[in-house]
Structure 1
C-alpha cells in the first residue's frame, strides 16, 4: 500500500487509482465484525435493509411482523468498537404499521425525511421520518414482493411495484396516482429495479422465468425480453424467451448500469448486457437459491473487479463479475439470508435474515488489528504485557552514537 502512496505523491499514478486500489483491498477482506453491532430490536425475520444515499448514515430495516426500525450508523465515540443505536421505529403499537410482513423498505433517494415500505398486506406506505406516520398509502390487488425508486431520476418520481399479479405498477409520488401499468409477464413478478444509468429503464423478473427490460416512456410493451440462449430479444419473441429455467427472484444493475445481474431458482446467476440484451455467458457455477421471496443482492462500487454479494441459504457468496470466480463465502447467519446492502462510504456490508439478526461485515483495517491486540494483551498479567512490549521494542534499531 505504501508503494501506491509514494507513486501518488510523485505523480506516477492518479489519486483516483490509489482510491480504487484501497477500495478493492478493503472489499476483498470483508469479514464478520466482532467489534461492531446494531442494537437488537427486531423479534421476527428481517426481510429488507437500506442505507440512505444522502448522509450514508441511517440504516432502515423491515421485518416479518410489520415492524420498521431505523439505526444510526455514525460512530460518535471514535472508538474501534460500537453498538449502533436505534433512532426510532414503527412498532406493534403504531396504528400505521403494516399488518403483515414488510417485504421491502427504501429511503427516498434525495432526502432522509421520507421513506417507502411495502408488504404482504397489499399496501405501499409513504412515511414521514420526523413523525413516523404515513403521509400516503396505496392499496393493490395482491401482496407486494418488492418496490424500487430510481436513485438517478431527475425527470420523474416513479415507484416501480412488483406484486403477486403479473402486472408491474408505476406510482407517481408527486401526483399520488398510478400512472402506468406494465403488462408482459404471465405470472407473479418477484423483482423490479431501475437502471443506475438511465432513469427510464426498468428491469423486472418473474415466476414465468422471464426477465424484461422496459423503457417506461414507450407504450408498446417491453423493450427487451432476455433469452438465456442469446436468441432474439425483441418484444415480439416474448412467448418463447426465458432468462432462467426457474423463477427469477433477483435482479440487480451494476453501478455503471452497463450490465444487469439476475438470480433464479434454477440455481444460476447470470449477467446480461443492457445495451444488447445478450447473455455474457459468465459461468458462476451452482448458486443455491431456495427463496420464495425477492432476493436482494448488492454489487460493490469502486473496486476492480466488481464483486456481487449473493444471499444463498444461510451464507453470502461473493463472486467476481468478470470471471465468475467465487471469491469468498461469508458465514454468520443461522437461517435464510434475505438481503444484503453495501455501505459505499465505509465499504461495509450489512445483511439480514430469518434468524432476526442484522450482521455487519467490515474490511480488515490496521485499527481493527491494533484493537484486537490490545484486547488480547488486556487478558494477560501485567508482567506478560510488559514482556510483550519489550519483545516489540527489541525489533527497533539498536544503534548507538559515538558519544555514548
Structure 2
C-alpha cells in the first residue's frame, strides 16, 4: 500500500496534467490525484454546516449509498434525524436542514439511546436503527413507522446489514445475533467471544465474511455459512495460537473494512489502531502511534481508499485523527468539537467528512481547494512514482 503523504507531496496538478497530455499517465490519474488530495486536505468547512436542532448527543451516522443525498443520525435521547446534504440553493453557503425526524416523544421511537443507524443498502425507502432498549427496528422512510421490530437479548451497541440482507447485531451478550430480514426472523447466533460484543462489520467484498470486536480484546472473523466456529482469531503478534490470541490489550470498540475488503482497521481502548490483512489474518504492524480512546461503547471510524493508498478517519476524544494507512503517519488532526466524538463518515460523492459527538453538533470537513491545487512541488515528480 502506497504512502499517501509521499504521493501528494511529490505530485502537483500541473505535473499530472502534463504527464496525461504526454501519454505517460492514464487520464484517470487526474481523478485519482484529485481524490487523494481532497482526502488529505480536510478543514472545517466555511461554506456548509448543519441545522442545529439536536437536543442530545449524536451516536452514529450513515450516508445513503444510492443517491448520496441523505445523512441518517441516531441520537442519545432515542430520536432519529434525516438531513439532506445536497446543495440546491445556487449559492456556495449552505445549511443542511432536517428532512424528517422521529422525535423522542414519538411512540415508535427508541425508549433509550439510539446507538446505531443504517440505510437499507439498495434504496432510501427503508432504514434500520437499534439501541439501548434492546430493540432493532426496520423503518419505512415515507411513513416513519417501523415495519419490523426485533427484540435482542442485550443492549445493542452496533448492527450492520450485508448485501445478502443478513443483519449482524453486536450486543451486551457474548454472542452475535444474525437476523434474516427477508424471513423476518433470527437466523442463528455466532458464539466465540467471552465478553460483550461492541462492534461488528460485514466485508464489502465477501458477502458472508463478518468481523466482530469485543471486550475480551479479540477480533474474530466469521464465515456465517458455518455456525460451528469462527474462521480466524486475529493476533496482534501474528502467532498461531488461537486460544490465547488477542487483537488489542483493551476493549475492541471500532472496526472498518477498506472499500475493497482487503484490509480491516481496528481500534481499542489500549489507545492503539491496527491494520489487518484480511486474506491472511495478519497484523500489518503499521505504527499509528498513540490513538487516545476512552469510549465505553462503539466508535464509528471510516476509511477512504483510492488505488493502493488509503486514509483513515478515527475519532479520538474531541478530535478526528487522519492517518495514511500505508505508513501510519498522522496526516492531520481535525479540531472543532467541544466534546467526545462518537463517529465520522466520509461522503464518497461530495468528498467531505462528517463528524458527530456529545457536544450535539455535526461538523462538515471539506478540502480547501486553494490548498489542494497549490503547485508547490512542480519539479519534484519522478518516474518511479507512477
TM over 0.5: yes
Corresponding position: 1:231 with 2:239: yes
Corresponding position: 1:64 with 2:76: yes
CA-to-aligned-CA distance 1:223-249 (integer Å, 9 cap, x gap): 00011111116xxx2x31111111100
Residue 41 (structure 1) shift:
2.2
Do 1:80 and 1:367's aligned partners in 2 also have CA atoms closer than 8 Å? no
Residue 5 (structure 1) shift:
2.9
Do 1:23 and 1:303's aligned partners in 2 also have CA atoms closer than 8 Å? no
Show the counterpart of 2:189. Answer: 181
CA-to-aligned-CA distance 1:252-304 (integer Å, 9 cap, x gap): 11111111111011111111111111111111111101001101100113266
Corresponding position: 1:119 with 2:131: yes
**Distance of 2:271 and 2:319 partners within structure 1:** 14
Show the counterpart of 1:195. Answer: 203
CA-to-aligned-CA distance 1:98-129 (integer Å, 9 cap, x gap): 01000000000101000000000000000000
Show the counterpart of 1:78. Answer: 90
1:272 partner SS: strand
**1:294 aligned residue (298, 310, 320):** 298
CA-to-aligned-CA distance 1:315-344 (integer Å, 9 cap, x gap): 000111011111110000000000000000
**TM-score, normalization by structure 2:** 0.91
Show the counterpart of 1:249. Answer: 253
**1:20 aligned residue (32, 47, 52):** 32
**TM-score, normalization by structure 1:** 0.87
Cα 1:304–1:219 shift into 2, 3 Å: closer
Corresponding position: 1:204 with 2:212: yes
Give matches, 1:5-404, under 5 Å: 5-150=17-162, 153=163, 156-232=164-240, 237=242, 239-302=243-306, 305-366=309-370
Do 2:309 and 2:326's aligned partners in 1 also have CA atoms closer than 8 Å? yes
Residue 206 (structure 1) shift:
0.1
Show the counterpart of 1:378. Answer: none
- Of Structure 1 and Structure 2, the greater strand share is in 2
Residue 55 (structure 1) shift:
0.3
Residue 77 (structure 1) shift:
1.6
- What is the number of equivalent residue pairs in this alignment? 361
CA-to-aligned-CA distance 1:173-202 (integer Å, 9 cap, x gap): 100001020000010000000001101100
Unaligned residue ranges in structure 2 (runs of 5+): 1-12, 374-386
**Distance of 2:35 and 2:229 partners within structure 1:** 40
Q: CA RMSD in A?
A: 1.6
Cα 1:346–1:367 shift into 2, 3 Å: farther
Do 2:41 and 2:371's aligned partners in 1 also have CA atoms closer than 8 Å? no
* Deviating more after overlay: 55-64 vs 71-80: 71-80
**Distance of 2:111 and 2:262 partners within structure 1:** 39
Unaligned residue ranges in structure 1 (runs of 5+): 370-404
Higher relative CO (Cα under 8 Å, sequence separation at least 6) belongs to 2
Residue 366 (structure 1) shift:
4.8
**Distance of 1:329 and 1:304 partners within structure 2:** 23
Residue 3 (structure 1) shift:
3.7
* Deviating more after overlay: 217-226 vs 337-346: 217-226
**Distance of 2:341 and 2:328 partners within structure 1:** 21
Residue 250 (structure 1) shift:
0.7
Residue 74 (structure 1) shift:
1.1
Do 2:126 and 2:138's aligned partners in 1 also have CA atoms closer than 8 Å? yes
1:48 partner SS: strand
Do 1:314 and 1:337's aligned partners in 2 also have CA atoms closer than 8 Å? yes
